[in-house]
């Protein structure tokens, strides 16, 4: 049994450095979280689809191996290529994204994967992690199949963690995103969200967080003023904004934050200690280019 199964898409990443140069890497929101969960000591399987026989799929699988991510739930899709995205950054490290992913095999993951085997793996995991981006790329049929599989896993004892990571360009509109997210929010034991996500979805942040917490979920809300609230059925814990750090690139900061928080909570840490771990890791990530920082740059202690 692994500690966590993370479901999503790893893409080819082009990090733009001027008008005629880019650095090649591999990343994606759930993939970034999976890497950091693994680095923080959890056993992690990453569930996705890649191509077969091309250098980019080989690069993704090679990175998975180096980061000790299990590939038992990876599907190799003949004749397909992974999705690709490019990142541009302004002087403050804020990002602009450009995507080529419509034909990526990860979009058809639930149709390509051995569904019974996936169901068994999800049910046996301590934690299953997905994001709203996972839901967006799977499209309606895949989303329903995933929701059914996740519901069965939760009934079997797995804990679902959901990141509301809302990207408007991936959805026909906020209503479609809400309809996909709400069933998983009712299943989740942990939800990570932010005021811009909820406002983009057309939700009142306070109302949505209270509603999601009521069944027993632990909801981490990142406020725009950089405060963090952790809301549960037992009440709200508020953590004041910390002094800012020098920001080089914000790519992957939220993904790393989620990994730090979840790894600490799964290890028995208090909410306050988990927030401190999450902030420390996210603070290190924003001081480096790219979503996945060098191992040597990982914060210790």
How far apart are the C-alpha atoms of 237 and 54, rounded to whole Å?
48
User: Is 108 among the residues known to form the active site?
Assistant: no
Six token digits for residue 124 = 């046996």
Give SS3 for 174: helix
How far apart are the C-alpha atoms of 89 and 91, rounded to whole Å?
7
> 104, 92, 160: which is closest to 129 by C-alpha?
160
How far apart are the C-alpha atoms of 9 and 108, rounded to whole Å?
11
> 29, 195, 175, 19: which is closest to 99 by C-alpha?
29
Give SS3 for 204: coil
273 burial via Cβ count (<10 Å: 0-12, 13-18, 19+): middle
Six token digits for residue 149 = 């599989």
List the catalytic residues: 255
């Amino acid at each position: 049994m692994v500690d966590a199964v993370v479901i999503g898409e790893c893409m080819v990443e082009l990090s733009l450095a001027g008008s005629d140069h880019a650095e090649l890497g591999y990343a994606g929101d759930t993939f970034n979280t999976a890497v950091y969960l693994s680095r923080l000591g959890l056993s992690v399987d990453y569930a996705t689809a890649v191509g077969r026989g091309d250098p980019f799929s080989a690069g993704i699988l090679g990175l998975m191996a180096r980061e000790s991510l299990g590939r038992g739930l990876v599907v190799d899709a003949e004749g397909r290529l992974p999705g690709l995205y490019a990142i541009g950054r302004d002087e403050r490290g804020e990002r602009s994204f450009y995507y080529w992913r419509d034909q990526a095999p990860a979009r058809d993951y639930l149709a390509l994967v051995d569904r019974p085997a996936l169901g068994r793996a999800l049910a046996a995991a301590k934690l299953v992690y997905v994001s709203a981006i996972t839901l967006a790329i799977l499209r309606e049929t895949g989303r329903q199949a995933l929701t059914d599989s996740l519901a069965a896993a939760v009934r079997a004892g797995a804990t679902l963690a959901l990141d509301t990571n809302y990207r408007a360009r991936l959805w026909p509109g906020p209503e479609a995103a809400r309809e996909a997210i709400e069933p998983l929010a009712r299943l989740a034991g942990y939800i990570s969200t932010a005021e811009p996500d909820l406002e983009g979805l057309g939700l009142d942040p306070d109302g949505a967080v209270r509603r999601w917490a009521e069944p027993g979920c632990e909801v981490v809300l990142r406020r725009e003023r950089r405060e963090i609230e952790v809301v549960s059925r037992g009440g709200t814990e508020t953590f004041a904004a910390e002094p800012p750090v020098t920001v080089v690139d914000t790519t992957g900061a939220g993904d790393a934050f989620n990994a730090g928080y979840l790894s600490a909570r799964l290890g028995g840490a208090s909410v306050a200690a988990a927030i401190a771990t999450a902030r420390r890791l996210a603070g290190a990530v924003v001081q480096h280019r790219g979503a996945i920082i060098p191992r040597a740059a990982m914060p210790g202690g």
